[in-house]
Structure 1
Amino acid sequence: MKKIVIGFSLIFLATSCDKEFTEVSPKGVIDAPSLATKEGVDLLLIGAYSMLDQQRTNITNDYYSTGDKFWYDIMSDDAHKGGDNGDLAPLFQLANHNYETNNPFIFDEWKGLYAGVNRANGVIAQAALVEGVDLTPQIAEARFLRAHFNFNLTRSWRNVPYIAPEDLNDPNKPNEGPLWPQIEEDFQFAIANLPPTQSQSGRANQWSAKAYLGKVYLYERKYAEAATLLQDVINNGPYALLKEFTDNFGEAGEAKSESVFAIQFQNDGGQSFNGNRSFLKPLAGGPLGTCCGFYQPTQDLVNAYQTDGAGLPLLDTYNQTDVKNDQGLPSFQADGVTPTPFTVHAGPLDPRLDFTVGRRDIDWNGFGRFVGAAWNRVQANGGPYATKKFQYTAKDIAAQRGKFGQFERPGIHYQIIRYADVLLMAAEALVESNGSLPTALNYVNQVRSRAKNSTYVATLPGINPTNYQIELYPNFPDVDFARKAVRMERRLELATEGHRWFDLSRYGADYYVTTINTFFKNEARTIKGLENLVSPAMPKHVVLPIPLSAIDLSNNVLKQNPEWQ
């Protein structure tokens, strides 16, 4: 076992570590006696936390494996790939639902998550070798992290192998089903053995473990158990909504009351190995103007922010009329300076649209008016919009910007779970378990109230004002209405945060297929020729295929998911 742990330590010591308590830069080689101490286990634990970003090497950018789940959104109705269609073509295949079992994004995601499992197992294995010291808290943190990685494996692939610490010598295990029992057990151990709070931000605690286990129960459709646990977090935990919606996606909200568990990226200067190295979202022009202009919000998502005369979402009809866009309209007139005239959409809109999506003539994160096509890499492919969440803002770019060559490596934290998500998960659990609809209504309205009372995106001089109109639901008349309202609220609140594909998948194959195929049809109004690029969504698309390379490397011990055989 010592030999295994030493090898494991060399892997983690080749990488830098994350912010706050992980803010160290270990160098060199640590021998077995040094690891067989509390300090050695703590170092290994830092290495396990550092795998939250799923980056296995410091040699290059690994766009394929990403802790922020951005490319999963591209498989949903929330985001286009953007850029040239041939640039990262495997990502384009994922967006268009014509990917196969050999897609490199899928294989690298698999490898990144299992690298995290291995690091967590390394902590647990090494802790067992240390005598005379109670390392239960460290083991609890490692089991929390292992549960996180196994949860992401299970919700992506369903049938995955379970790798225990004793399997480090022989990790070639069959994939016999979802890992829900093991995930539950790890989070329950974390709840029982972690403190309610940690002195160092970024570390898992008892409340983040409860919130995460509640999320697991939701995926398992154990709605009553989810409701009980999530309401405990709401009623007794330390979390609260931030006053300003946008603070969740910049420096002002890092390690604050709404952050339940996050990847704590850091701008550490130089090559910025502690930044988000899978980050391909920056504008292709304008205030950043580097690489790569990917991850563009869809017209479908923008349309979802339309409201009715009462300030409520158009649950069934939002796609009947498009929010006005500037697709195909040049940014500037012939002189290259004078903006091409454009009038923004006049209908009522949820203000979260302009917290989430960059659109023509509305301020983009404090850098001034979004000018349209000149800031889109290839508007014809990705549409007229740009993402805004987890992007630099003018007020904190100096502190958060990290670069390596042409690539951005920002230090902006990525929120894996934030308190608004907890409220909406609790609302969903109540609705689906025939629980209290008034309580579910209250949770949804807390989220909507914060959006209503946040400081709206400023209207710029000479631009027609946007008609923001958002109000609270007066009631949930029945379960069917409540279900629609909760699902829509999740989309509006959590858009472009890496949740949408997973939500569509867990709602069921029929829901997924209908939603994605309707999206393809409607989106072709904006992206001309889209219907010729996409393949119809099918029930198999609610689960990823086991990577062909993983099956080959296992000598066929791993078996392909039935949907993909």
Structure 2
Amino acid sequence: MKSKHIIYTGLALMGMGAMVSCKKSFLELQPKGQFLESNYYANPDEAFAAVIAAYDPLVTETGGIDNTYSDPLGALNSASDDCFAGGGSASDVTPWQVINNYTLTPAQGPQNQFWAINFQGVNRTDVLLENLPKVPGLSADLLKRYTAEGQFLRAHYYFDLVRLFKNVPLILNSLNLTNVYDQVQATPEAVYTQIENDLKAAIPGLPATVPTSDGGRVTQGAAKALLGKVYLYEKKWADAATMLKDVNTNYGYKLLTNYGAIFSPTNKFNSESIFELVHSGSQSYTWSNWNQFKSNIYTQMIGPRSYTGPVYYSGGYGFNPVTTQLATALKGDPRYGYTVVNIDSLTKATKTSYSPSYQNTGYFIQKYAPVLANKVTTGTTDLNWPNDYIEIRLADTYLMEAEAELNGGGDQGRAQTLLDAVRARVGLASKPATLQNIYDERRLELATEGHRWFDLVRWGQAPSVLAFKNFKAGVNEILPIPLNETLNGTKLKQNPGY
């Protein structure tokens, strides 16, 4: 008998998934029902619903296959030197704990969620791309745009997979139970080539901008930014610099003058946002909506436990306390108060209290914090936070372009201008545009936004910087393939060291 997880993944790879309708903005979704692929794609409305379903794995906060939260920020921040896992105890959300202290095994870790969610996305885009040309009545313009969105999304899912696992199967057609177990891993080079090809094909079919009502849908700028980032990971420095310069100069993006406003739920789709994952606080979710949440559960996860008030903050579950290393690095930086909150100091000043979490440092994440002003009153409060996650923003692409320019022997002056712009936005003086200064700026500018672990790995700095968390060089740069994906007759091989 095949294991439960293998069948789950197989069905994720084959199934059409939940079709959804839009509410308020494109990705504020409500489940609308299950449909068989053979009965679907009968008209343009169904094609549009399938496009939304292809986006859905990006934003669905879910209990997942092992009843733990799958928000990528929790695991990625736990793995980095920005945060600890935290929570109620050393066994609270075990996948986050074991990546925090690098005791990952094929059976334990966040790899189950990362693998299943991204391959669900791969399959939905494969099915979408196969069926779009056959939809009756779909205009040429919509066919072009929907196809481009599918290509971008498949590239996005595979970029996460190859960065996290390195050795993954490259599946470009929908599967069935007769061939799902025959898949073998492709070379990372082949996966990166496919990612590049999908993004290059997508760019001409995407709009330069979208209205707020379509917020969250892919634009040309987002596709070029992702392609530039892909080039950076491949060390194709000149290509990365050229692509990112295009994004940074030709699409009207602007750095906000108020750094804290970047992350406010009242300022979604702002001028700095290039690719934003939308979360809704208006859908009245309760615990009966398990596996359906389109709200930001991570906001609740990182609030202080048993917080009394009300003074600015709502309580939370105490996950991802900020490390003293990050708090110290940010002291004196204007971004400190928008990135980190010292709950110890706050409770003393306001005569409130909280219960220290596991690995408590007194410092908590501010960027996605459960601020009372954002609290909704419908449904279960814990499950309805509206905070979006800006996955790619302008300061990020500025610093990536500067890094590419320096690594590739490109325009030193251009790199200096970009670094200066990021610093000047928060009132900081110029620093020389060296690679180490770019690295340091990325750490401070993008702290707790899920980039730090990937940066440390690609720079080769993870073994030294994460030694205090027992990071093992040559092993922990990638995650193990989930155990059940290598059992019961599959052809997948485990990653080295696991």
Pick the TM interval, shorter chain. 0.7 to 0.9
Equivalent position SS for 2:356? coil
Confirm whether residue 391 of structure 1 aligns to residue 324 of structure 2.
no
Structure 1 residues without counterparts, runs of 5 or longer: 307-348, 453-469, 477-481, 521-533
How far the C-alpha of 1:117 sits from its partner, in A, is 1.1
Equivalent positions of 1:16-27 (< 5 A) are: 20-23=25-28, 25=30, 27=32
- Residue 61 of structure 1 deviates from its aligned partner by 10
Query: Alignment length, in residue pairs?
Result: 466
With over 3 angstroms needed to count, the CA separation of the structure-2 counterparts of 1:304 and 1:230, relative to structure 1, is: same
1:204 correspondence with 2:218: yes
Structure 2 CA distance, aligned partners of 1:88 and 1:132? 47
Give me the whole-angstrom Cα distance separating, in 2, the residues matched to 1:386 and 1:503. 22
Distance 1:240 1:420 in 2: 9
- Give deviations 1:202-259, integer Å, cap 9, x for gaps: 1101111001100111111111100000001111112111121111111233111111
Matched, 1:186 2:198: yes
Contact 1:55 1:65 in 2 (8 A): yes
| Runs of 4+ residues over 4 Å off in structure 1 | 15-19, 28-34, 54-57, 59-62, 287-290, 360-364, 368-372
CA gap of 1:70–1:16, structure 2 versus 1, over 3 A, is farther
Counterpart check, 1:514 vs 2:458: no
Cα distance in 2 for partners of 1:256, 1:292 equals 29
1:82-481 to 2 correspondences below 5 Å: 82-83=86-87, 84-131=89-136, 133=138, 134=140, 135-167=143-175, 170-172=179-181, 173-178=183-188, 179-199=191-211, 200-271=214-285, 273-279=293-299, 280-284=301-305, 285-286=307-308, 287=310, 290-306=315-331, 349-359=332-342, 374-378=353-357, 381-398=359-376, 404=380, 407-452=382-427, 470-473=428-431, 475-476=432-433
- Please identify, of 109-118 and 96-105, the stretch whose mean Cα deviation from structure 2 is larger: 96-105
Alpha-carbon distance, 1:16 to partner: 7.2
TM superposition shift of 1:442: 1.1
Structure-2 change in CA distance of 1:547 and 1:439 (3 Å): same
CA contact (8 A) 1:120 1:142 kept: yes
Contact 1:263 1:413 in 2 (8 A): yes
What are the residue-to-residue correspondences of 1:8-19 with 2, within 5 Å?
Answer: 8-9=15-16, 11-13=17-19
TM-score of the superposed pair, with normalisation by structure 1:
0.76
Whole-Å separation in 2 of the counterparts to 1:513 and 1:48: 36
The answer to whether the 8 A contact 1:62-1:277 is kept is: no
Q: Deviations over 1:505-560 (max 9, x none)?
A: 1112xx2111111xx2xxxxxxxxxxxxx53533211111111111115x240111
Does structure 1 conserve the Cα–Cα contact (< 8 Å) formed by 2:344 and 2:363?
Answer: no
Seen in structure 2, the aligned counterparts of structure 1 residues 50 and 371 have a Cα distance that, compared at 3 Å, is farther
CA distance in 2, matches of 1:182, 1:125: 16
Q: Report the structure number with the largest CA radius of gyration.
A: 1
* 2:356 counterpart letter in structure 1: R
Mapped to 1, the partners of 2:67 and 2:322 lie a distance apart of 22
Residue segments in structure 2 that go unaligned for 5+ positions in a row = 1-10, 287-292
CA distance in 1, matches of 2:330, 2:281: 33
SS, match of residue 27 in structure 1: strand
Please give the root-mean-square deviation of Cα atoms over the aligned residues, in Å: 2.8
AA at the equivalent of 2:411: S
Distance (Å, rounded) in 2 between the aligned partners of 1:370 and 1:151: 45
Identity fraction in percent: 31
**Structure 1 CA distance, aligned partners of 2:222 and 2:151?**
13
| SS of residue in 1 equivalent to 2:187 | coil
Distance 1:445-1:103 versus aligned 2 partners, 3 A rule: same
| Matched letter for residue 404 of structure 1 | T
CA distance 1:227–1:168, change in 2 (3 Å): farther
The corresponding residue for 2:4 is none
How far apart, in 2, do the equivalents of 1:49 and 1:371 lie?
A: 44
C-alpha distance in 1 between matches for 2:117 and 2:250: 34
* In structure 1, C-alpha distance between the alignment counterparts of 2:279 and 2:132, rounded to whole Å: 27
**Match status 1:539 vs 2:474:** yes
The answer to whether the Cα contact below 8 Å between 1:402 and 1:410 also exists between their aligned partners in 2 is no
